[in-house]
Amino acid sequence: MRGSVPVRKVAASILLILIVGCGGGAEEVARPDGPAVQANILIRLVDPLDDPDHYCIDVVGFGSGVQLQQPLQAHTCKPTDNRDEQFTHRPLTGQLYMEEYSLCLQPDEPVQGSPLYLRECTDSPLQRFDIFADGSIRVGADGPDQFCVAVAPGNGEVINPIHKRRDLSLANCGATELNLMQWSFFEQGPGQDAQRGRESSHWLRGALFKQVRDL
């Protein structure tokens, strides 16, 4: 019909408006083999669960008391002084790199319940993480068994009046509640000014792109 607009073009236009409204561009979409997210961002659980400040992937200890040999944890997100919670996703290698210690995220092995550590960055397949449109961060995405970075169920452990923690490990993606393994990326600048923080909902934008691509 003359004057009609293809459905694909309309959907793409709507998607562009949504992305601009979210404050980002197409280059920020998180999906397997997609471009890198911003450098030095917090990996924050979408569902706050029992902590209104949300949980972020975190190193045990702080400052001179940091314990790099211990498994990583999910800890109340820190609004400032949070360089020990900042990661960069390297899309070519899949690594989740922590600049503060020049180390990469790695599980002991790709199995249920495996803890995650910061290790020397290598070409190990255990350091290849894929970020999916549903917000899951997966190891072994190309194999029959996929394991996701997830927090422990139940109630968080109270550390002090303002902080909680949970165990962090790999969990079978198909058998784990989404709210325990759905992550977003929260960007804060080098000065760690809390007012500069903004959430990049990569999982949502990735899902929208997939819908347009499938039209």
In this structure, is residue 118 part of a structural domain?
Answer: yes
In this structure, is residue 160 part of a structural domain?
Answer: yes
Tell whether the model's pLDDT for residue 71 goes beyond 80: yes
For 8-41, what is each residue's pLDDT tens digit?
A: 333 444 333 333 334 433 333 334 444 445 688 9
For 165-213, what is each residue's pLDDT tens digit?
A: 999 999 999 999 999 999 998 876 443 433 334 444 443 344 333 333 4
In this structure, is residue 1 part of a structural domain?
Answer: no
Give the CATH number, domain containing residue 70.
2.80.10.50
The answer to whether 190 and 214 are in contact (CB under 8 A) is no
Of the candidates 188, 151, 194, which has an alpha carbon nearest to the alpha carbon of residue 57? 151
> pTM of whole model > 0.85?
no
In this structure, is residue 187 part of a structural domain?
Answer: yes
The answer to whether 210 and 95 are in contact (CB under 8 A) is no
In this structure, is residue 99 part of a structural domain?
Answer: yes
Contacts of 43 (CB under 8 A, 6+ apart): 56, 57, 85, 87, 96, 137, 183, 185, 186
In this structure, is residue 2 part of a structural domain?
Answer: no
d(CA 83, CA 40): 8
Work out how many domains the chain is built from and give that number. Answer: 1
Enclosing domain of residue 159: 7-214
Cross-strand bridge partners of residue 90: 95
Percent over 70 (pLDDT), the chain: 67
